[in-house]
A and B are shown apart, each in its own frame.
Chain A
Amino acid sequence: MLAQQLVNGVMLGAVYALIAIGYTLIFGVLGMLHLAHGEVFMIGAFVGLVVATHLSGNVMLALAAAMLATGLLGLLIERVAFRPLRGAHHLAPLATTIGAGIALQETARWYFGPEQQGFPATITLTLWEVGPLRVSSVQVFILAAALALMAAVHLFLARTRAGRAVRATAEDPAVAGLLGVNVEAVILITFFVASTLAGAAGVLVGLAYNSVHPFIGVQMGIKGLVVMLLGGLGNVPGAMLGGVVLGVLEVLGVAYLASSYRDAFAFGAVMVILLWRPEGLLGLRVQRRD
């Protein structure tokens, strides 16, 4: 049973990681919290659902459409909720992004209705038995997609010019600007990439758990934030590791402790980890003073 529970945890964790990477990218570059990120995830889930239900049963197409739509949504949020506040108090975007999040929730509720919806069952499910384990094709797809996206983000940041510009801006926007990095463009790229990941996560959650509804972003947003803290602020590999750690902790909490307290247990464990390593699992022990 433990092996199956670990599989369950890693699946859940992969989705958390995708959301957390988005948070951490934006936090790393802007030093600001994007509290509508959970709602971007929710919109991604709905876009994927609409494409899969009405246009084509192709999951890849649904994923691509959701990523494109949320990427554009991310740019819109940057324009509306962040850019006017550049240079304002660093807490100001908290209010504007919470507002953007509420606007997105209500729009989705108005357009899609408040009920929970699921992806059509036409997306076929094959089950493989590996020893005592049971893995479904959806799970394999989710894990593969999540890993591929994480690898793509890692390569983008580590190997491309634009990625280097993002890292430079995260380090110090003023100096990066002086050295010829187009900071505005970098911010837009960051928002686009972060939001596409959230959109992808939305589709994957819809596929895996069949619960797409306008308020799903709230819960997922909180999980993503916790994972970001756990992995280390602004640290992409940390967010990946943190996601898996939280997913496994939650599942083990249900499996071996009281299942009503899954969040209490998981968040409690995260608190202990953070007391032990305040900089997060992979965070650097550096204090930066702005």
Chain B
Amino acid sequence: MRYRWLCVVVMAIAVVGLLARGVPAAGLGGKAVKLGAIYSITGKGAEWGEHSKIATEIAVEEINRAGGIGGVPVEVSIQDTGTEVGPAISLARKLILEDKVLAILGPCFSSEFEALAPLLDRLKTMIVSQCSAKPGISALSTWAFRNTLTSDKQLDPAIKIWKDRYGVKSAVIIYDSADAVSAAEGSKVLPALLKKYGVEVKEVLTYQTKDIDFSAQITKAKSVNPDGIALGACYQQAANIVREARKQGMKQPFLGSACVGSPEFAKLTGQEGEGTIIGSAGWPDDPKPKTAAFLKKFMERSGGKKPNYGGMRSYDNVYIMKHVIETSGVTNKPGDLEADRARIREGWSKVKDFDGITGLTTIDANGDGTGKATVLTVKDSQLVKVEY
């Protein structure tokens, strides 16, 4: 009996100790801080979702080991959208209406994001995407945030480097007309930026996500003999397009953005993709200690694969969420759910210079991330940062 009391006292001291550590205000109410996540763990965006899931789990474990958020453990309910718009919306509704989460992490894909964002004014819960890059769509709702750079910001420095390094004066654009961000890049972002840097667009070709044969597009691209090929594509198809081009004897350099920026692209293309310039929003091999520590943990869980920038930004998003919840007066009491959700939204809109593994994050007036884009290139089957 006495022993049991001793235990209680020790536990109480431990809890108070944990609460006192690093928590500015009083501890939160409730048993857990409930967050939701909608990630594309299967379907065409599987790699992006898988990396986000692993990164989120790492962040959640770290946070809970260090005392949780405001002294309360954090729980993230991770759901799989299958990279489809319908499930993304229904899962978000379920998390908000039934599971009563405070906020939602994800979705990654712009197609999912732009369908979900307009509904948020009614659902009154914020979402924060880790990889969606189609310009303009965070403005669809004040509840829609993206802690990443839109593809125009990712591509601008990349195109300059590509043009200068390879002397590109003319280009062919090949893009996926069935993917939201790729289509935006191919039809709007790339033509505008190439024009800005004085690169003539000789031909614009399209394909659809499910295509596997790109021989006809490459034959056509080859016939106009451009200095380079700019892609609005995701890494799987981008890799096949690069390989097909080499097979048909094209030696021109490639340019890609957001969705190409996966370490898998470098692995799939190898020597054939050497020198490809990619605008991105994160570099997994960044020697910064925080990033290196994350990379080590990530690779232990991913079977040795390096994270894409979506995975890296998911990790940052969980920590920004912790920071926002702890500093914006969230109580986490069931009766305050609506007010707490509004406080979190307010807190996210004020995020400034948050130091994460992808660099400093500041959220702009539209709810988009800002900052310097990372330009990567393929070297010996690895993504390597290009300094500029």
Contact = CB atoms under 8 A, between A and B. Distances in A.
A209 B212 contact: yes
Contacts of A113: 46
Interface string B205-225: 111101111011101101100
A211 B178 CA distance: 18
Given A127-B249, A260-B177, A250 B213 contact: yes
A81 B34 CA distance: 45
A11 B213 CA distance: 10
Interface in A183-221: 205, 208-211, 216, 219
A113 B41 CA distance: 10
A244 to B, nearest CB: 14
Interface in A110-162: 113-116, 118, 121, 125, 127, 129, 134, 136, 138
B271 interface: yes
B291 interface: no
B211 A262 contact: yes
Contact of A114 (B42, B213, B216, B219): B42
A1 B236 contact: no
Contacts of B50: 114
Interface in A1-47: 1, 4-5, 8-9, 11-12
B248 interface: yes
B220 A255 contact: yes
Interface size class of B (residues with CB under 8 A): 35 or more
Contact of A211 (B47, B223, B236): B236
Interface in B32-61: 41-43, 46-47, 50
B328 interface: no
Given A5-B216, A134-B249, A116 B236 contact: yes
A5 B220 CA distance: 8
Contacts of B243: 118, 210
A259 interface: yes
Given A209-B213, A210-B240, A260-B206, A255 B271 contact: no
Interface residues of A, number: 38
A1 B220 contact: yes
A109 interface: yes
B42 A260 contact: no
B46 A114 contact: yes
B371 interface: no
Given A115-B46, A118-B268, A121-B271, A254 B212 contact: no
A87 B215 CA distance: 45
A254 B220 contact: yes
A117 to B, nearest CB: 8
A5 B249 contact: no
Interface in B229-258: 236, 239-240, 243-244, 247-249
A118 B213 CA distance: 14
Given A116-B268, A205-B212, A260-B206, 7 more contacts: A5-B219, A8-B215, A118-B243, A209-B244, A254-B205, A259-B207, A259-B216
Interface of B: 41-43, 46-47, 50, 177-178, 205-208, 210-213, 215-217, 219-220, 222-223, 236, 239-240, 243-244, 247-249, 264, 268, 270-272
